[in-house]
Amino acid sequence: MDPKQLHKKHGLDERLVSARCAYCGNVSDTVDHVPSKVFLDDPLPENLPVVPACTACNRGFSLDEEYLACFLASVLAGTAKPEAITRPKIQRALRHSPKLAQHISASCQKDTDGRLIWVPDANRVTNIVLKLARGHVLYESSTAQLEPPQSVLYLPLLAMSTADREDFEVAGYDGLHGWPEIGSRAFLRAVGVSPYSNQESPWIEVQKGQIS
């Protein structure tokens, strides 16, 4: 769905709709889904968030998105063998690209206790984490964040400290530090008006059992 149509449906200020790519700032000529469709199962949820994007960016992230989705599914399954993966979309991707399956398999080692240790391609993961962050920020706050970040941090839940885990669970909403732009989606969430009045958690479940 076009971002402007989503703004109309949710009562947002159309003047905040960006005509620039969420990822590079160039003029947009398409829209991109956030989160990426490869992280979701078919049928896709209704009203899946979209942000403006240029064709180059929309296509340019595809291989890294596929890699990360396949890597995560392989970690959960304990193997990159397609037949062991429960998600049909990931099964197809690994069968279609044996090199990708081999690459992911090679990133898995066993420690001295026989436990599997998975080491992802840091550059590819960072690329997609940053891409998704920029997409979500624009979707929620109607403000593009194009400057390079000071740092990008991602960790498995089991590797987080107690404090990091607690902060993660509340999605950084430990007190409101300034109000979002009036008329933005983040503002409506903050004040708890419809359709966000029944939101029980700072996390938004995009697809049950799949991604928040």
pLDDT tens for the 212 residues of the chain, in order: 455 554 544 455 566 567 889 999 999 999 999 999 999 999 998 878 889 999 999 999 999 999 999 999 999 999 999 999 999 999 999 999 999 999 999 999 998 888 899 999 999 999 999 999 999 989 888 888 999 999 998 988 888 999 888 888 887 565 555 677 777 777 777 777 766 777 777 777 888 877 55
pLDDT of residue 10: 47
The helix-helix angle for 98-106 and 88-96 (nearest 10°) equals 100
Q: Rounded to an integer, what distance in angstroms lies between the CA atom of residue 76 and that of residue 209?
A: 13
What is residue 158's predicted lDDT score, i.e. its pLDDT? Answer: 83
Q: Quick one: which of 166, 159, 170 has its CA closest to 212?
A: 170
Candidates 151, 182, 146, 188; CA nearest to 53 is: 146
Contacts 24+ apart (CB under 8 A), 161-170: 170/202
- Say what the pLDDT of residue 120 is: 96
Residue ranges of alpha helices (H) inside the chain are 3-9, 55-60, 62-77, 88-96, 98-106, 122-141, 162-169, 185-191
What pLDDT, on the 0 to 100 scale, is given for residue 4?
Answer: 52
Q: What is the dihedral of CA 74, 76, 81, 87, to 10 degrees?
A: -90
Closest CA to 80 of 101, 103, 106: 101
Torsion of Cα atoms, 53 then 54 then 58 then 60, to 10°: -140
